Each structure stands twice: as structure tokens, then as C-alpha cells.
Amino acid sequence: MFIWPWALALLALLPLLIWIYRRGLPRPARAAAIHPDLALLARAQGRPHPVRRHLPAALYLGAVGLALLAVSRPQAAVPLPDNRTAIMLVLDVSRSMRAQDIEPSRFVAAQQAARNFVKSLPPGTRVGLASFAGSSLLNSPPTSRHEEVLAAIDGLTLGSSTAIGDGLLEALKALPAGSTEVPRTDQRPAAAIVLLSDGRNNSGVDPLQAASRVKTYGIRVYTVGLGTSGESLRSDRWNPPGRSLDAATLKQIATTTGGRYYGASSATELNSVYREMGRSLAWSVEWREVSGIVGALAGLLLLGSLGLSERFTRRLQ
């Protein structure tokens, strides 16, 4: 993209410069001269170097092209830290997280992925942590002091039952947009919730009702379903029948709030999911003018052209 696209017309000068350069090249002699020692003449003339001969001119032409391009004020998409959005991590800490279908266990894998997520956030990004089993708990409110959130992740303990809806509402209360009775109306969400669960809701508030309330504040919920296939979940000793992953509910929560659902059946997939969400939630892409960078490159090419030209000229003398 260019702020002054009409200035690109100046690039039409490049073919003219090439024509002028070619017109100035020495032409073969029209007359022949006889020399008594052709071997000596060949050694004095040296081997031809067509690339070296035209390299200074090519660099000069590139410098002129970049300089003309800088006049059009080009823009580039630049990733920048986005500290306007607070992020709440919401982790399922029910006893089914002891299952070892994901090594070393779902709970340890979730903790490690959450740590990596927090560490990947740019400085200044506000992030918090809430957890839920049979009830919900605010482990750390949103803060830019990431070490506090990391300590809260390390201090998580397991409990019985699964109250997904309560975990959502706990995160909502901790977020800036959830602390007021008036929903936000601006276009950019004030916050985002990242919810991880490995089971189905069996306690507390209905998750879809909680998702509807979260939606009224313009907050998106990104859900992560942790676990392997339904059959292995039902046969696992930590997952009695009826406690398998409820991916349908997690997908509906994400859809209701405008978020996205991710499935993770291994520690590697879980880390990839959190890494992708970290890039999308904590960074924004903005168009910035890069005329200065293009102009600096043009200057470097010009210096290279002058330096090579001087070096090659001294060799010939």
C-alpha cells in the first residue's frame, strides 16, 4: 500500500536510465591493429568480467529505484503489542484432569501450556487466571505483572465436579467490561476469555446461559477441548461414563460469543493452540509508513555502487 500511489509513475524513469547507460558503454573498435605479441596483449588486457563490469551500475539503478519508491510513501503491515485487551485464562481443575492420555497428564500439560502462553505475551499485556471444579475461584485478577499469574498457575489444585458456567462468570467479573452493569458498545472487545475444559458441565450455572451473559459485554470466549477420543475418555479411570469431553457445548460457547473452538489431543497440540491464541489476542497488525526504511536501503545501495566503482577503477589504473 502507498500513501501517494501516483508517485509510482516516477519509476518510469528507470528504463530511461538503462538506455542512457547502455548508450554510454564503449563500443567495439571499427578498425583493427596488428600487434607483434598477441599473448602479451591478452595478459595486459586481463580476463573479461561482465558481472563486475556492470555491478556498480546495477547497484546505482537499484538505489534510484528504491529512492523513487520511497517518494510514494509505502506502507507495511507491522505486528505491534496490543495492550488494550485484558485476557482471562479459565482452567478446568476437576479430578478428570489427572488422566494420562495426554502425557504426563492433562493437568500438567495444561499448566505448562498456560505458562508458555503467559510467557509469550508482550510486556504490559494484562492477563489473569480463574479456575473451576465444582465451584469457581479467581486465582489472579488481570495484571501486567506476569510473574504473579505464573505463580497462580503453579498453585492450582484439583477438585471434584465441573462447573464450566461458573468459571465463565468468575472470569467475567474479573474483567474490566464485566465490572459494570452497562455493556460495552465500542467495536473492539475490552477483554477475551480463554477457557479450557476436559469434561462436561455437571454443576453450577448452565454454560450456555453464562456465555450469553458474556456476549452482552462484547467479550469473546475461545474454548479449548482437552482430551483424546470419546471412547478412551469413557474408559479412563478418571472419567466415568457421562464425563467425556463435551466438545459440542464448548463449540457453542465459542460460537455464541464470536470466539473459536480448538481441540487438543496431545501436549504438542495444546501448546500450538495457546501459541496461536497468544499471537491473535496479544498482538495487532497495523499499517505503518516505511519510507524511511526504503530510503535507508537506497542509501546503502548507493554507497555500495560508489565503493565498487572506485575499487574497480583503481584496479584498472
Flag whether 3 is in a domain.
no
Residue 67 inside a domain? The answer is yes
Question: What's residue 191's pLDDT?
Answer: 81
Q: Kindly state the DSSP code that residue 20 receives in the 8-state scheme.
A: H
Q: Is residue 24 part of a domain?
A: no
Q: For position 219, which CATH number holds?
A: 3.40.50.410
> CA–CA separation, 164 vs 214, rounded Å?
13
235 and 112 co-located in one domain: yes
Q: Kindly list the strands in the beta sheet with 261-264, ordered across the sheet, starting from the edge strand earlier in the chain.
A: 136-143, 127-132, 86-92, 191-197, 220-226, 261-264
Same domain flag for 105 and 194: yes
Do 315 and 167 fall within a single domain? no
293 vs 211: which has the higher pLDDT: 211
207 within a domain of the structure (yes/no): yes
**Unique residue bearing C-alpha cell 489431543:** 265
Query: CA angle 141-146-150, nearest 5°?
Result: 85
Least confident of 58-67, 107-116, 177-186, 284-293: 177-186
- Kindly state whether residues 204 and 126 are assigned to the same domain: yes
Give yes or no for residue 175 having a pLDDT over 70: yes
* Distances in whole angstroms, Cα of residue 180 to Cα of each of 28, 167, 184: 85, 18, 9
Are 130 and 191 contacting, i.e. CB atoms less than 8 angstroms apart?
no
Residues 302 and 181 in one domain: no
- Which residue's entry shows cell 465436579? 161
Residue pLDDT, tens place only, 91-104: 999 998 898 888 88
- Tell me: the pLDDT tens digits for 201-221? 888 999 999 999 999 988 999
Say if residues 279 and 271 touch (Cβ distance below 8 Å): no
Does 266 have pLDDT greater than 90? no
Domain containing 68 equals 52-74+290-317
**Do residues 97 and 176 both lie within one domain?**
yes
In a domain, 65, yes or no: yes
In the chain, the amino acid numbered 164 is I
63 and 158 together in one domain: no
Angle, helix 207-215 to helix 247-257, in steps of 10 degrees: 20
Query: Bigger pLDDT: 120 or 314?
Result: 120
Residue 279 shares a structural domain with residue 307? no
Nearest to 126 by CA among 141, 116, 137, 113: 141
Using one digit for the tens of pLDDT, what is the confidence trace for 60-83?
888 888 888 888 888 877 666 666
Domain total for the chain? Answer: 2
The residue ranking higher by pLDDT, 42 or 139, is: 139
Do residues 223 and 87 share a domain?
Answer: yes
Q: Do 57 and 114 fall within a single domain?
A: no
